[in-house]
Structure 1
Amino acid sequence: MLVISSEQVHNTLSFDKLVEALHVGFAKPSGSPPRNVYELNPVTHDAFAVLPAWNEHYIGVKAFTYFPHNPEQGYDSLYSKILLFNREFGEPLALIDGTSVTLWRTACVSALASQYLSKSDANHLVFFGSGKLAPYMIGAHLSVRPISKVTVIARNSDKASKLCAHLSALYPQVAFELGVSDEHTISSADIISCATGAHEPLFNGDWLSDGTHVDLIGNHHKNARECDSTTITRASVFVDSRENVLKEAGELLIPINEGVFSEPQVVAELSEMHTLQWQRSEQQITVFKSVGMALSDLLSAALVYGLTR
């Protein structure tokens, strides 16, 4: 059985390869039960999660721990591993670093959704956040759309400045700038991507211009959200997994509780988009809400394994 490190994951994966692997994999039959998240401590919000999935080639399970106060003690807040098995005989094949895979698959799931939902000529990305996911999220969006300008909005201006400098070196053809969440910035965006720990909406949904695509991946709490109800009611809404999102995400659960949105209004989940008859109009606002699902972990781990062995 192979043991694949985070360094090997980063050296193996690319946005183009993984977006394509997800595109193909989500279109094929698979099993992906709801992920199970167990709260270990209601005060500190320590948690343990298990995500199983399988397809015609592999069986996989990702397990991760999330201890948000760990950095105060010198530990990472999240640890994760993916165990991959052969589907035909059930033979263990690889133990893969799950933290690095999660960075790549989260970003590439959003990029795949953007391929389906954003305008093909989208050129201005507004990105909220400056954490570990930020360079992956931005890089993935750049890989699927002809983006020429990225505006980064973050609470930590020092981290945001370093992020822009880092990305400017990687993507010299793109203009990176720091910004603020105001009507001018939001209304000028073709794509808005949010990867924050915010509990309150990051922008006013009335500011969105027709045709904007909104990508929401930061929140996993029922009573928190990165966008307001106006954004949801103005948009066609898509999700990575109905079952997971409608169990965890305040972006949809709060408008549902307010009576301004309902579960049947979710147009499709990611595995349905390749056969969807829905067509975006130039004026249509779209929202993609993702909380993570096991199938994307399985497909990403399988790609790493196939390229490493």
Structure 2
Amino acid sequence: MQIITASQVHQHLAFPTVLNKLAQGFAAPATMPQRQIFELDSNPHNHDAFAVLPAWNDEVIGVKSFTYFPDNEASGYASLYSKIMLFSRAHGEPLALVDGTSVTLWRTAAVSALAASLLAKPNAKHLVLFGSGKLAPFLIRAHLAVRQYTQVTLVARNHAKAAAVITILANEFSGVEFAYVDQADEALISSADVICCATGARSPLFNGAWLTPGCHVDLLGNHHKESRECDTTTIIRASVYVDSRTNVLNEAGELLIPIKEGVFSAAQVKAELADMCRQAPNRSADEITVFKSVGTALADLLTAHLVLTLCQQQDKAEAAACLA
């Protein structure tokens, strides 16, 4: 059994490869039971949790386990710890233990960009990203792999983090204008072709009435029933897509709150990511779209398996070179 570290994950992955793997994997047959998330404390103000996410296809079986302790950083620990176990589908033997935290960064960003490749208008030029955390540079790189943005604006309260992200990316993408602001206003939102939200916000980040026809909204940060990154106006103005109906309709306030208000229904969700990968949505030029993602075990499985395959290919190449 191979042990794959975070540094190996980052070394081997590139977004064009990950995007292609996910597009093919979501279009193919796979099984993904409902993930299990266990709250570890009955205190409503404590969100410590443990989760188990299983999935398998005709090549590999996988399960990701992770802990989420949002207040950990104050004690010098990471808020998220994660590992992915891979097993052979043919015989069930263990194949690898893969660092799940790094895989989560790559697959979350790639799923976001994959959805945008299917839902955002082809000539999108302005990407607005809410959030400046560890996921931010991954999201921007992934989205720049599917659209030719000329402007990227970060909306972030932490100026130091936002400036650091921009400094890194400005050196990688010389043809893109990067900027950051404290908060979004109508002028910014109405100028956005794609809005990506990856925050810990408990309430809507912008007014849905500000959205311009043709805008695509991507919602990644919230996993709680009573919280949401967008308002009801955004949902009722948009065609809504999800990564997983089961997960989103059990966890995400972005849809559960409008459903509770009686202005939206589960039946109005257009499609899951797997449906979209099998047949691309036919959207009109002025249609507003929303993609809500809470993460899937299949995305973890596909990305971790890709890393394992690339590591094995490198090992074989190095072994051949030694024998040459």
Gaps of 5+ in 1: none
Matched, 1:26 2:21: no
Secondary structure in 2 matching 1:122: coil
Give me the whole-angstrom Cα distance separating, in 1, the residues matched to 2:277 and 2:130: 28
Query: What is the deviation of 1:277?
Result: 6.8
Q: Verify the 8 A CA contact 2:118 2:280 in the aligned structure 1.
A: no
* Other-structure match for 2:192: 189
Query: What is the deviation of 1:165?
Result: 1.3
Q: Verify the 8 A CA contact 1:34 1:293 in the aligned structure 2.
A: no
* Other-structure match for 1:156: 158
Matched, 1:95 2:97: yes
Q: Verify the 8 A CA contact 2:207 2:231 in the aligned structure 1.
A: yes
Matched, 1:208 2:211: yes
Amino acid at match of 1:269: E
1:75-102 C-alpha deviation (Å, 9 max, x unpaired): 1111000000010000100000000000
Give me the whole-angstrom Cα distance separating, in 2, the residues matched to 1:295 and 1:162: 32
Matched, 1:243 2:264: no
Query: What is the deviation of 1:279?
Result: 1.1
Query: What is the deviation of 1:278?
Result: 3.9
Secondary structure in 1 matching 2:214: coil
Q: Verify the 8 A CA contact 2:24 2:277 in the aligned structure 1.
A: no
Query: What is the deviation of 1:68?
Result: 1.4
Query: What is the deviation of 1:276?
Result: 3.7
1:65 aligns with one of 48, 64, 67: 67
| Aligned pairs for 1:1-309 within 5 A | 1-43=1-43, 44-179=46-181, 180-276=183-279, 278-309=281-312
Give me the whole-angstrom Cα distance separating, in 2, the residues matched to 1:123 and 1:188: 10
Give me the whole-angstrom Cα distance separating, in 2, the residues matched to 1:252 and 1:63: 26
1:134-180 C-alpha deviation (Å, 9 max, x unpaired): 00011100100011100110111221122111111121111101133
Secondary structure in 2 matching 1:292: coil
Amino acid at match of 1:133: L
Q: Verify the 8 A CA contact 1:234 1:285 in the aligned structure 2.
A: yes
Secondary structure in 1 matching 2:52: strand
Amino acid at match of 1:38: F
Give me the whole-angstrom Cα distance separating, in 1, the residues matched to 2:71 and 2:278: 43
Give me the whole-angstrom Cα distance separating, in 2, the residues matched to 1:276 and 1:228: 29
Amino acid at match of 1:118: A
Q: CA RMSD in A?
A: 0.9
Secondary structure in 2 matching 1:10: helix
1:40-81 C-alpha deviation (Å, 9 max, x unpaired): 113322110000000000000000001112112211111000
Secondary structure in 2 matching 1:93: strand
Give me the whole-angstrom Cα distance separating, in 2, the residues matched to 1:69 and 1:160: 21
1:83-138 C-alpha deviation (Å, 9 max, x unpaired): 00010000100000000000000000011101110001111000000001000011
> Which deviates more from structure 2 when the two are superposed, residues 126-135 or residues 64-73?
64-73
Query: What is the deviation of 1:274?
Result: 2.9
Secondary structure in 2 matching 1:273: helix
Q: Percent identity?
A: 61
Give me the whole-angstrom Cα distance separating, in 1, the residues matched to 2:309 and 2:278: 27
- CA change 1:277–1:8 in 2 (3 A) is closer
Secondary structure in 1 matching 2:300: helix
Give me the whole-angstrom Cα distance separating, in 2, the residues matched to 1:172 and 1:278: 32
- CA change 1:9–1:277 in 2 (3 A) is closer
Q: Verify the 8 A CA contact 2:4 2:99 in the aligned structure 1.
A: yes
Give me the whole-angstrom Cα distance separating, in 2, the residues matched to 1:277 and 1:89: 35
Amino acid at match of 1:121: N
> Which deviates more from structure 2 when the two are superposed, residues 34-43 or residues 191-200?
34-43
